[in-house]
Structure 1
């Protein structure tokens, strides 16, 4: 195989291997609860805007490397409207070709070989790839139940001293935990006046069930050391569009933009127009999305509680973090659910060592399938009673 030593050290992406792959399951109809994107359609107004923008002659040519002024202004207006955060559209905004691209590229932009990067455990699987590609050192930021929040005093001073970047993500994928503003206040205070920077992955920003999810940039002084990465994929049902952006600390933003000048030649103008329309016109839709998943959360958790099946409380996002029966780890339970109940879920171990005895369940399925899946899982109560 022809592959560089650097790339060879990066594990295969779990979801790249499994997404779209055919699976063999038991006799019941398959219910796929492993998918990581909301199941609704993109709003018609956004689709219509995109269709019109396709016919615009200026969108059929190269556009400015760092994005249309209209798109950047929509981002600025959105953050002011939603979070009361002021942004400079030239210095504090970077358009991303899907947020994953930015999250994986970031270590190569600001981290030197050998420096530490703290990664949430449990946390999104592909952060680690970006760290390894930068020849940096991934270190676990262990998040413990039931709240899955950072405990900075539990990290060794030698680790912190050599840490250049910290990844945070709330609502958390995979645990469904959320952060209050005080969590971000503590993180900013922890790394103020150090060389350590923070990136907050805000992919599931729309989905907050007990309170609106705060932005890290609402914390005083956050822009001195932090950026936030926002995705249009989940809140607007636009995952296929691959559009997001990073906002915040101008030095990190400029590093990302420099990187992009060598890897991209400007986002397709019609995509930018569609994203602009979404940001400017669909605030109410974000609230509707959250309400849909809160209702699904309530239904699913009630079914689990009735059967006394243990799980971590889901406060935001689209995933529920389910404990495995005591006789199985996550991978064994995934196989058991698939063969015995025809339910496909994701094992916890790709999300970090502390996910070994969990599975991630997506609620991005219609109500009928959701209730059917919950009732099938209820029949497994006996597995949790085994010692």
Structure 2
């Protein structure tokens, strides 16, 4: 029997989805539901893994807070890529970024903390609130504000808020934020009690320009931390490694929490991360170009069909308004039965996603082309529907 705390947590949508038996129509299944990059881990990384496995130091417990070499690599990467100067006190190694996103409030805050979450936003943010027995505060992301939070309209809500989650490029919206937004956000909150956690999982996918780090707007690290994933940009989702950087007090809370709950990331995995970051200048542009090509194809194809996609600006997901006679969940079922297309309903991302579906670009071009052809067969469903 699970504990009361575990039983109180919201169901994990993606866990249940990955274990669910899929019933499709007559066509071959197109799985566009999960955002796992479809490329192979680059050779420069796997070669490092092969050599690292034979190193005796990697067969024993390593430093609880990670190898100095990896933290140095992170510091070089952030300086080179974002112009941000990190010190060791500003870095925490994570067992995959989900661990950091979900556990941070538990490590840093007390029960009752007010946590403002984007709506729509990543489905597992709510677990972070529930684990710390905090209060979830709604942060609407609206088209008329380019899917950025309107803090001027949230004056009362901010009085109850201690921590804000941001995520750009956005999962599920494909929206982005520029440096001006981050500058303004840091200026607004830098002398307040409110801190910011920026989920930077899709940093590699800015498409039109390099996506800015929030830390470039917070050079003294007074206000924010940023959580960076190696899964997406480097095709390393199975390696389960990422890192948090920024405000020293917030980072120390993560490190102290992990001192008690873990015994250090596998040394070989850390060596793989070093290889990835040290070769990021060649690897990330290649990954970005693949997804930029897919993004441009999908944006144009679906818009030409009259299907109301939110134009993808960053990240690896598309966001579609469903026809008026459906909601997101019923339309996911319809697509499965009629077109053998598996997508994700918008409701796990917040109630503002109720009438939307999310699909992934993390499939090869042939699958995307087939997806477009099948959507063409049902484009008439949107003919009398409202726009986004």
TM over 0.5: yes
Distance between the aligned counterparts of 1:87 and 1:222, measured in 2? 10
Deviations 1:141-167 (A, max 9, x none): 11011521010012142x212211100
Post-superposition shift, 1:225?
Answer: 1.1
Maintained 8 Å contact 1:348/1:359: yes
Q: 5 Å matches for 1:349-368?
A: 349-368=347-366
Distance between the aligned counterparts of 1:338 and 1:277, measured in 2? 40
Post-superposition shift, 1:368?
Answer: 0.8
Distance between the aligned counterparts of 1:378 and 1:123, measured in 2? 28
Q: Does 1:271 align with 2:275?
A: no
Q: Does 1:182 align with 2:180?
A: yes
Post-superposition shift, 1:227?
Answer: 0.3
Partner of residue 204, structure 1: 202
Post-superposition shift, 1:212?
Answer: 1.0
Q: Does 1:106 align with 2:107?
A: no
Maintained 8 Å contact 1:216/1:222: no
Partner of residue 193, structure 2: 195
Deviations 1:196-216 (A, max 9, x none): 110000000000111110000
Deviations 1:283-315 (A, max 9, x none): 211011111111111111221122111111100
Maintained 8 Å contact 1:188/1:221: no
Q: Of residues 153, 159, 162 in structure 1, which corresponds to 2:160?
A: 162
Post-superposition shift, 1:4?
Answer: 2.4
Distance between the aligned counterparts of 1:60 and 1:334, measured in 2? 46
Post-superposition shift, 1:195?
Answer: 1.2
Maintained 8 Å contact 2:84/2:219: no
Post-superposition shift, 1:183?
Answer: 1.1
Count of aligned pairs: 384
TM-score normalised by L of structure 2: 0.97
Maintained 8 Å contact 2:206/2:314: yes
Deviations 1:221-270 (A, max 9, x none): 56101000000000000000000000000000001100000000111111
Q: 5 Å matches for 1:234-253?
A: 234-253=232-251
Which deviates the most, 124-133 or 182-191?
A: 182-191
Partner of residue 31, structure 2: 32
Distance between the aligned counterparts of 2:152 and 2:6, measured in 1? 34
Q: 5 Å matches for 1:1-387?
A: 2-89=1-88, 91-145=89-143, 147-157=146-156, 159-221=157-219, 223-386=221-384
Distance between the aligned counterparts of 1:323 and 1:271, measured in 2? 40
Q: Unpaired runs of 5+ in structure 2? A: none
TM-score normalised by L of structure 1: 0.97
> What is the RMSD computed on CA atoms of the aligned residues?
1.1
Distance between the aligned counterparts of 1:187 and 1:47, measured in 2? 39
Deviations 1:157-188 (A, max 9, x none): 2x212211100000000000000001111211
Maintained 8 Å contact 2:207/2:313: yes
Deviations 1:301-336 (A, max 9, x none): 221122111111100000010110111100011001
Distance between the aligned counterparts of 2:82 and 2:338, measured in 1? 46
Determine helix, strand or coil for the equivalent of 1:223. Answer: coil
Deviations 1:34-56 (A, max 9, x none): 01121100001211111111111
Which deviates the most, 176-185 or 190-199?
A: 190-199
Determine helix, strand or coil for the equivalent of 1:246. Answer: strand
Change (3 A) 1:222 1:294: farther
Distance between the aligned counterparts of 2:143 and 2:245, measured in 1? 30
Distance between the aligned counterparts of 1:20 and 1:292, measured in 2? 29
Change (3 A) 1:12 1:386: same
Which deviates the most, 20-29 or 267-276?
A: 20-29
Maintained 8 Å contact 2:218/2:224: no
Post-superposition shift, 1:112?
Answer: 1.9
